[in-house]
Amino acid sequence: MHTSPTASLGQNANGGLNVYVREVCSAFSDRGIATDVFTRLQTRDDPALESLAPLSRVIYLAAGNGLDKYSLINEAPAFAAQVGAFAEIQSLQYDLLFSHYWLSGEVACLLRPQLAAGWAHVAHTLGLVKNKRLASGARPEPASRIRVEGEIAQQADLLIASTSDEGEELVNSYGASPDRVFIVPPGVDLATFRPLDRAESRRKIGYPGGGPLLLFVGRLERLKGVEIAIRALALLKGRAYPDLRLLIVGEDSRDGDESEKDRLMSVASSLAVRDHVDFLGSVAHHELPYFYAAADVCVMPSYSESFGLVALEAQACGSPVVASGVPGLRSVVRDEVSGYLIDGDDAAAYADRIGRLLADRELAQQMGRRGSLLAQRFSWTRTADRLEELFDRAVDRDQTVQLQTNVSGD
């Protein structure tokens, strides 16, 4: 509900969730499974319907235009009503509702009685987990979100968790029944994200020189810890790397009137490294492999991640990763194997690990190769296979219950 699978990545709330929906719908289409994706109109130029894959279409609904995501909860009933009306007009009967993020989960909760379908939910992030480790100045997730997530955890037929840590949080923090929680890791498009020639990649992205490059990919919000990467850059530049640059790929995520991009620019200026930090904005998803391949190190200092999709993409392209040791990243990055994991938010610790990789090109290449091999375990084909198995089981169970209900009613 809060974002569209067709939106440009790195802008506003657009990120791994968007990739997840697109890839799963495409994989389902290949299997003969049809999907309708309901989302909000983002701009006046959005069509009423758009094809995502041969058997998948996006339906745009007018709801909550211009509202921030926390205000969208009030639009959930109207959004659900429009989805129900669409299904009724088109005489559609859905086998399963598949909701993504807590706002869409609220919509699915409202729709379920009308559509009489099974319901699977993916949280993507959890409010209680995010609130456990907040960046300085970051706004905590509101009580309304925690409440809705609790209701979803109690009512959805299937709770799909990306990692075992997330599954444990659903059980221990939200009271979900363990027999309804299933671990299904997301994947990476291994045909797109693969090792590429470093020199050619640098030419393609406009950095043909041989100077060291650090890379951050993601939305610009305090949660992502970009300030830590900038402070690490300042420490390294002051030591032995005067030509070091940090490329930041991703658009601003405003929190009220505050611009995170402006704040980060100010931080870089105060550390005298503004000329070494390049804010490149959003980049088309198919162009990201060139950035990963061009970088000496991909840096992910996030305070919280449900699943480190960026780290997985970087490793698939052979880039070593220096990341925070939060659960979602621990499931993807192997410490001292494909990169380094750091507990806490000390920029000096990041600078130390990045410095090791910059000083030892052979070590960086070894970690890159190991990361590329590790990424082979994560494919969207595997993800879709597991989801299809779980969904088929849920649909069969739902149909059996309905049949028994009809028989007892007769």
Domains of the chain: 16-184+380-409 (3.40.50.2000), 198-374 (3.40.50.2000)
d(CA 268, CA 266): 5
What pLDDT was estimated at residue 136?
85
* More confident site: 402 or 372: 372
Q: What is the phi/psi pair of residue 387, to 5°?
A: -65, -45
Spatial separation of the C-alpha atoms in residues 107 and 55, rounded to whole Å:
23
% of the chain at pLDDT higher than 70: 93
Residue 59: pLDDT over 50: yes
Task: Check residue 64 and give its pLDDT.
Answer: 67
> What percentage of the chain reaches a pLDDT higher than 90?
77
Give pLDDT, residue 254: 66
Q: Say which range, 187-196, 366-375, 394-403, has the weakest mean pLDDT.
A: 394-403
Q: Residue 9: what pLDDT? A: 47
- Residue 167 pLDDT greater than 80, yes or no: yes
Q: How far is the first Cα of the chain from the last one, in angstroms, to the nearest whole number?
A: 39
Residue 69 has pLDDT above 80, yes or no: no
Q: Tell which wins on pLDDT, 323 or 113.
A: 323
Q: Across the strands, what pairs with 118?
A: 96
pLDDT of 57 higher than 80? yes
- Residue 339 pairs with which residues in a beta bridge? 321, 335
Taking the C-alpha atoms of residue 236 and residue 35, their distance in angstroms, rounded to an integer, is: 49
CA distance 216 to 230: 10
**pLDDT tens, position by position, 5-32:** 776 544 444 467 888 999 999 999 999 9
- Whose CA is closest to 115, among 107, 103, 123? 107
Q: pLDDT tens-digit profile of 117-155?
A: 799 999 999 999 999 989 888 889 999 999 999 999 999
In the DSSP assignment, the letter for residue 307 is S
Distance CA 304, CA 134 (A): 8
pLDDT range class, residue 400, cuts 50, 70, 90: low
User: Smallest Cα–Cα separation from 38: which of 21, 53, 55?
Assistant: 21
pLDDT score, position 319: 98
What pLDDT, in 10s, does the model give residues 332-348? Answer: 999 999 999 999 999 99
Are the beta carbons of 371 and 315 closer than 8 angstroms?
yes
Write down the pLDDT at residue 44: 76
| Joined tokens for residue 157 | 């037929």
Q: What pLDDT is stored for residue 207 in this prediction?
A: 96
- What confidence tens digit (pLDDT) does each residue in 362-385 have? 999 999 999 999 999 999 999 999
Q: Is pLDDT at 198 greater than 50 in this prediction?
A: yes
Inform me whether the pLDDT recorded for 302 exceeds 50.
yes
Q: What is the pLDDT of residue 301?
A: 97
Tokens describing residue 324: 């925070």
Residue range 241-281, pLDDT digits in tens: 999 999 999 988 765 567 999 999 999 999 999 999 999 99
Q: In whole numbers, what is the pLDDT of the chain averaged over residues?
A: 91
State the pairing for strand pair 49-53/56-61. antiparallel
Interaxial angle between packed helices 16-30 and 380-409, expressed in degrees from 0 to 180 and rounded to the nearest 10: 70
Q: How would DSSP label each residue in 256-305? A: TTB-HHHHHHHHHHHTT-GGGEEEEE---GGGHHHHHHH-SEEEE--S--
Which pTM does this prediction carry? 0.90
Q: For the ranges 38-52, 85-99, 188-202, which has the lowest average pLDDT?
A: 38-52
The amino acid that residue 173 corresponds to is S
